[in-house]
Structure 1
């Protein structure tokens, strides 16, 4: 990386509100994985199945995210593909919270997630590394 950041493959957006939204996105992603784990661990009366679900579902979600939705994802689908993965993983987290009998929390998570994704996609700078190929 050069001293001024130009020529680098990763573009850092210096708008503070945009960076705050990106931090919120990361926190939402981590919370969604935790909620999927929690749901999986409580979904069955069988301990072995609960452990498999509690570890397996977040592992699958994290793998999908890494492959298709992460800023440096090795596979770059279209914007609709990325949004599909985001809805699947983050919406799954909200549904997991609902499944654990917290409907208000699930609604709050869903609304915050929708606002966060909308802000990220609407205000993404054209040609930025995160928006390239999406």
Structure 2
């Protein structure tokens, strides 16, 4: 079962909302955000691994991961190493994004996996 998030915006309105579809479209329109999101689509990764895979700086990777997590497109989980150290693993939960125009509105529907979904990328055990 998937979660659906729908945001609709009337571009003529004065209402600035964090669920503004323009914000989501702006986020997804960024080349570095796309690289970071694609990096964690099939496999959970640490921020450092994302930076390397997406060919971006660590700071850029973590900023984009934070933005994607705030938008509900990426989630993270703390992983503990056998030596007691821990780090975050990030994975994409977005399945589809639909964009619709009509009646002067822009509508964005984001379909995400529910927590514990069988299709979620596995987080490697660092034993």
Fold similarity call, TM over 0.5: no
Bigger relative contact order, structure 1 or 2, given CA contacts below 8 A and separation 6+? 2
Structure with the higher fraction of residues in helix conformation: 1
